[in-house]
Structure 1
Amino acid sequence: MRALASFADRDPVPWANGAGQTTELVSLSDSAQLTPGLRPWRLSIARLERLGPFSALPGMARTFLPTAEVALEIDGRVHPVPALQPERFHGSQDVSLVDMAEPCFAVNLMVADSGKEPETGSGELQMSIDQPAPTDGYRFVLALESSAEYPRFQLLELETGEAVPNEVSVAVLHAERAATHI
């Protein structure tokens, strides 16, 4: 396992709409080097401290993973989102945080795409929680809590066949490797 980025080592930056802060762990340009052949992606940790609108990010499929229970309004419909339950939507949709149990963090995986509806498929990094992790392809884990070995929100890259750590709660980011042509 190789540590790629840690929340504690990065400075927060303002959201695109200026309504909050996020800490970027992987940029769109970094993702091209980490996962050649996949759609560009970005991974960040947002601080959710007050209710309000999300930044519009057209062209990005978003997976939102809050660390506490929240409610999002997506295109006029309220979606309760339990803690550590991924919610997918598109960056062009009208999204607002309309309720939260307490201030918390949210993991945001944003993958470049061209459609309005979020899709899941090959060529795209995906996020899963509490599901068996693939044993090959591109595989990363994000520690969702601190442990003796891993600080909270540390991103690790797994080698082929390497097991996902089971001593800490993690989000698994994964995709098949792009086929190479000779």
Structure 2
Amino acid sequence: MRVIRFGEQTATPWANGGGHTVTLLQHPAHAEPTEVIWRLSVAEIVGSSAFSMFRGLSRWFVPLTDEVEVTVDEQSNRVHPLDALSFDGADRVSTRQHQQTTHNLNIMVRTGAVDLRLRRCTLEPGESLGPRLTPSSARPIGDEYPGELDALVVLDGRLTGASGEVAPWSLVTEPTGCDLAATAPTHVLHVHITLADRGKPSAAHPL
């Protein structure tokens, strides 16, 4: 298990000045945003903003703090906190929110290159995380298949364990069987990414 704490990562400002992005983890590690196979990040959006286009990528958008109105190719969608909206990276996307500043989880995957599975879990105070997580795939994952990911994102609340406290918007890799437990009502998103060319067609399985 590895904990990637949101507060310890560097924020990258947007070119249009509409916000900034904190990359939690991506593959390849040093690729430009347009060249990644997958990326998990948290964006801070200030006011209304237009998204950059990422052709060849599929995207999932999860508001973390407030409801956001997301317009995708002129189709308006009200997305509530912790719900997910998926769209193509080549779509024209803009956002409008009630609060001046919002934070949002963004997941991008190379279309056709990976199998993505997402599952949201709710933990009550004192409830352990480990028993709630079952292996997402019978196929092994990790060093044998670099570029694959089994992880969870803490959407809200708080977890604690031998590795210390895990605050919202942090990422925990290889979490199955971990000793983390909730110290407040907590929502986590289990993210499982495998390579599509391991004998299975690419697919996306949303929340």
TM class by shorter chain equals 0.7 to 0.9
Residue 75 (structure 1) shift: 0.3
The residue that corresponds to 1:6 in the other structure is: 5
- Within 5 A, what are the aligned runs for 1:131-142? 134-137=134-137, 138-142=149-153
Structure 1 unmatched runs, 5+ = 33-38, 115-121
Deviations 1:120-175 (A, max 9, x none): xx93233332487542444201112252521222111125x526956232111013
Counterparts of residues 142-181 of structure 1 (less than 5 Å)? 142-147=153-158, 149=160, 150-158=166-174, 161-162=176-177, 167=182, 168-176=186-194, 179=198
SS of alignment partner, residue 114 of structure 2: coil
- Indicate the percent of aligned positions where both proteins have the same amino acid: 25
- Which residue in 2 is equivalent to 1:46? 43
Distance 1:148 1:163 in 2: 11
Q: Is the 8 A contact 1:65 1:85 kept in 2?
A: yes
Q: Cα gap change, 1:174/1:20 in structure 2, threshold over 3 Å: closer, same or farther?
A: same
Alpha carbons 1:71, 1:98 under 8 Å: kept: yes
Which is higher, the Rg of structure 1 or of structure 2?
A: 2
Give the secondary-structure state (helix, strand or coil) at the position aligned to 1:162: coil
**1:90–1:52 Cα change, 3 Å:** same
Question: Which amino acid is the alignment partner of residue 93 of structure 1?
Answer: D
In the alignment, the residues of structure 2 paired with residue 164 and residue 61 of structure 1 have an alpha-carbon distance, to the nearest angstrom, of 33
Residues 31 and 85 (structure 1 numbering): CA distance in 2 closer, same or farther, change over 3 Å? Answer: farther
Give the counterpart of 2:119 among 120, 123, 128. Answer: 128
What are structure 2's unaligned runs of at least 5 residues? 123-131, 138-148, 161-165, 200-207
Separation in 2 of the partners of 1:113 and 1:56?
14
Q: State how far apart, in whole Å, the 2-side matches of 1:85 and 1:166 are.
A: 23
One-letter amino acid of the counterpart of residue 47, structure 2 = R
Is it true that 1:108 corresponds to 2:123 in the alignment?
no
Cα contact 1:25–1:45 (8 A) shared by 2: yes
Residue pair 2:159, 2:180 contacting (<8 A) in 1 also: no
For residues 134 and 195 of structure 2, what CA distance do their matches in structure 1 show?
A: 12
Q: Could you say what secondary structure the match of 2:41 adopts?
A: strand
Partner in structure 2 of residue 79 of structure 1: 77
- The CA RMSD measured in Å over matched residues stands at 3.0
2:159–2:181 contact (8 Å) kept in structure 1: no
**2-side partners of 1:81 and 1:20: how far apart?**
19
Cα separation, partners in 2 of 1:92 and 1:148, compared to 1, 3 Å: closer
Moved more, 88-97 or 134-143: 134-143
Q: Which has the larger share of strand?
A: 2
- Aligned-partner residue type, residue 145 of structure 1: D
Q: Which amino acid aligns with 2:191?
A: L
Answer whether contact 1:41 1:125 (CA < 8 A) is retained.
Answer: no
Which amino acid is 1:124 matched to? D
